[in-house]
Structures are given as structure tokens and as C-alpha cells.
Amino acid sequence: VRIHEANLRVVARSILKHAGSASDEARVVADHLVRSNLAGHDSHGVGMLPYYIRFLSRGTLMPNTPARLLKDDRAILMFSGDRGYGQRVAREAMCSAIERCAETGVVLMTLCTAHHVGRIGTYGEQSLDAGLVSIHFVNVQDHPPLMAPFRGSDARFGTNPICVAVPGSATTEPVLLDMATSKIALGKARVAMNKGVPVAEDEVIDHRGRPTRDPGVMFSDSDRGALLPIGEHKGYGLGLACEILAGVLSGGGTIAPVNEQRGAIVNNMLTILIDPGRLVDLAWMRREIDAIVAYAKDSPPVDPSEPVLVAGDPERLRSSERRTEGIPIDPKSWADIVQAGASVGLDPATTDRLSRGTPQS
Ligand code: NAD
């Protein structure tokens, strides 16, 4: 199926409201999920709703929970998400950090114990809207580990993402690097499995540490495989850095089994916000960004049909395509979403009607 973004927002909002969220929270979470789909990151889009409904029923995701300020020390802000929807609490924590950055020029913000914060690029975009540079390190807890350490044969880390956002200029789009430290995100394996297609070589190993292209090994209860880190020892090192920067410095903790697992997806995030105008002349910075991005993109492509891009371009291209063509959702993922809605009292016929209606906002 292909669903118009506005209709998908309405469906996601309805499911979230039936699952107990107040209107504002449902709007923020639904908007984040649909924007992830628009950006092409279906792994962090509306396909997460069935998981969220399961975690709500287990009491490991707490609806209607705001970000709670733990510490305010001028350029240091620490928050706890208290297992509230990550899309909401991270947005609130970012709003406070952005406001503070206007005074202090730089802010170190931590957020511990948020339920799944979703696509980290969303927070990069929030800071870009304020003209700021942002750097985010994230770790994952309360979920079985997914990524093997370099030379290891089983999973010991989450897919620990890192994001760097840098404003563009009048002619250059912002640079938005937003990446898991695993070669693929777990959700990409889920989407591949639901579509019945293999993953690429060297992305996944089976439960004995042998290479495989079967995404299903990541979802086996008994013989679970592992995702491999990007860049061998270097990606592994970055994943470990996320455990320490996001997990330890936020106070939330790491994925190590010394910390209790209750079965959900909990994220800790360390964010550095920088007001670039406090460091350099902004007009000069924009000329430099224009120059370096143009220089990179000017490299003759190996394959003429695949020009050089910069981080953020694929998501922008995908968004403009999906805004007009609609968001594709594979039949299995859609059936799971409809079922998740039904489990919280949203009639499947209503979900179907909302998904097909004249687009509304
Ligand atoms: P990806 O591999 O699709 O993209 C990674 C980065 O590379 C992006 O910034 C993208 O713009 C850039 N890129 C892609 N193709 C490019 C090209 N040809 N040239 C230049 N740059 C290019 O993303 P991913 O690593 O699979 O991550 C997917 C999403 O999953 C991210 O949004 C991430 O935040 C999210 N994530 C979240 C969690 C969590 O626990 N909340 C965990 C892992 C990942």
C-alpha cells in the first residue's frame, strides 16, 4: 500500500490516542514516525507502533510522561525521560537546550531513560531550525544487544547511533549525518524480513558468528544472530564510545547485564549544541560550507548514474518523492499496524478508512 503522509499521520495519531496518549503527545510521536518514513527510514517510522503497543501493555513504556529536569548547571542540562515516549521527551529536552544555547553559546545536554527516541536526525533537524550545530551520541538499553564487537561472534551492543548536524547556506543544504554504528539498523533487517528479501553481504552473522544474508536470524528467539559494526574496529570503537558518552555520562547506564532489562527500547542521549556564530563569522562559515560541499560533490562519480551526495541528501530526495507519491508500506507491516490499532480498540475498518481518506492534516 501507499499512504499519503497526512493520512498516515491521522492513523498513527489515532492509534496512539487509543493507546492512552493525550492529543499533543500523539501528534508529536505520530509526526516523528511519519517524518522518518518520509526520510526513507521506515525502520523508525509507523512500523514501530506495534512494538510500542506491546511495551505499553507491559508497562515498560509510560504514556503522557514529560522530560524531567535533573540538573541545570548553566551550559549543562540533564534530563530523565522516565520511560516516556522518546520522541516527546527528547523533543522537549532539545527545546530547553536550544533555548539555553542562545545564552551560553554551547550546551551539553543529556537525556537518560527515554523510551525509543526514534530517528536521531529529527533532533539534528530541530537544532538546524535554530541555526545551531549539534552532535548526538545515543546508546540503547533494555533491549537484547544487537551488534557484535569487532572479532566477537555474538551481540553485545545496541546499534548505537551518532548524528552530526551542520546548518547550510542560501545555496547549500544542511549536512545531516545520522547513522547507526552497525552496518544496518535492526529495523532495516525487519523491513527486509517482512519483504522476504536478503540483506547484503557482511551485514549480519548467525548465532555461531558465521556470515549470513538471512535477516530472519535477528528475530530468532533461540539462535539469535548479530549485526556487524561499520568500519570493523572503528565502528565498534564508536559504538563503545556511545555506551560511555550517552550511557554513562547521562547517568542512564550501559547495555551491560549489570543493568536490569525489563523488555522495551530505552535510549540515553548525550547532545552537544554549538552556536557557530560564537566561534566564527557566519558569512565566512557559509562560504566555507558552500565550498567544501561543492568540492566533494564535484568528484566525478565512478558510476555516472550515481552522483556524489552529502549526508542528508538521500533523506531530502526520498522525502520529496514520498510527499508526492505517498509512503509505501509493505503488506506485513501494514497488517501489523492495523492489528496493533485493533488491540487498543481502533476498529480495522476505521484504520482503513483513515488511511484512504482525502488527505487531511
Ligand atoms: P543510513 O545508512 O541510511 O544513512 C546513514 C547516513 O549516511 C545518513 O546521514 C545519510 O544521509 C548518509 N548517506 C546515505 N547514503 C549516502 C551517500 N550516497 N552519500 C553520502 N551520504 C550518504 O542510516 P542508518 O545508519 O541505517 O540509520 C538509520 C536510522 O536509524 C537513523 O535515523 C538513526 O538515527 C536511526 N537509529 C536509531 C536508533 C535508536 O536507538 N533510536 C538506533 C540505531 C539507528
How far, in Å, is the centroid of ligand 1 from the Cα of 37?
13
| Residue 139 φ then ψ, to 5° | -120, 170
Residue 361 in this model has a pLDDT that exceeds 80: no
Cα angle 93, 322, 34; round to 5: 30
Q: Is 270 in the pocket of ligand 1 (CB under 6 A)?
A: no
State the average pLDDT over residues 216-227.
Answer: 94
pLDDT digits (tens, 9 = 90+) for 142-195: 999 999 999 999 999 999 999 999 999 999 999 999 999 999 988 889 888 988
How far, in Å, is the centroid of ligand 1 from the Cα of 343?
31
Average pLDDT, the chain: 96
pLDDT digits (tens, 9 = 90+) for 242-296: 999 999 999 999 999 999 899 999 999 999 999 999 999 999 999 999 999 999 9
Q: Which three cell numbers stand for residue 7?
A: 493520512
The whole-model pTM stands at 0.97
Pocket test for ligand 1, best of 119, 179, 243 (most atoms within 8 A of CB): 179
Residue 302: what pLDDT? 98
Q: Closest Cα partner for 36 from 185, 246, 183?
A: 185
Q: pLDDT category, 221, cuts 50, 70, 90?
A: confident
How far, in Å, is the centroid of ligand 1 from the Cα of 206?
23
State the average pLDDT over residues 53-77.
Answer: 98
Residue 195: what pLDDT? 86
Q: What residue type is assigned to position 221 of the chain?
A: D
Instruction: Write the residue with the smallest CA distance to atom 1 of ligand 1.
Output: 179
pLDDT digits (tens, 9 = 90+) for 100-119: 999 999 999 999 999 999 99
How far, in Å, is the centroid of ligand 1 from the Cα of 310?
12
Residue 357: what pLDDT? 84
pLDDT digits (tens, 9 = 90+) for 306-343: 999 999 999 999 999 999 999 999 998 999 999 999 99
Q: Which atom of ligand 1 is nearest to the CA of 140?
A: 40
Q: Is 17 in the pocket of ligand 1 (CB under 6 A)?
A: no
Residue 359: what pLDDT? 66
State the average pLDDT over residues 13-41.
Answer: 98
Instruction: Write the residue with the smallest CA distance to atom 23 of ligand 1.
Output: 179
How far, in Å, is the centroid of ligand 1 from the Cα of 73?
32
Residue 222: what pLDDT? 87
Q: Which atom of ligand 1 is nearest to the CA of 312?
A: 11
Residue 187: what pLDDT? 81
State the average pLDDT over residues 208-227.
Answer: 95
Q: Is 174 in the pocket of ligand 1 (CB under 6 A)?
A: no
Contact (CB, 8 A) for 114 and 84: yes
Q: Which atom of ligand 1 is nearest to the CA of 187?
A: 30
Q: Is 267 in the pocket of ligand 1 (CB under 6 A)?
A: yes
Residue 170: what pLDDT? 97
Q: pLDDT category, 120, cuts 50, 70, 90?
A: very high
Residue 225: what pLDDT? 97
Q: Which atom of ligand 1 is nearest to the CA of 181?
A: 25
* Residue 289 exposed, middle or buried by CB count within 10 Å (0-12, 13-18, 19+): buried
How far, in Å, is the centroid of ligand 1 from the Cα of 163?
9
Contact (CB, 8 A) for 128 and 98: no
How far, in Å, is the centroid of ligand 1 from the Cα of 77?
27
DSSP-assigned beta bridge partners for residue 72: 77
Q: Is 156 in the pocket of ligand 1 (CB under 6 A)?
A: no
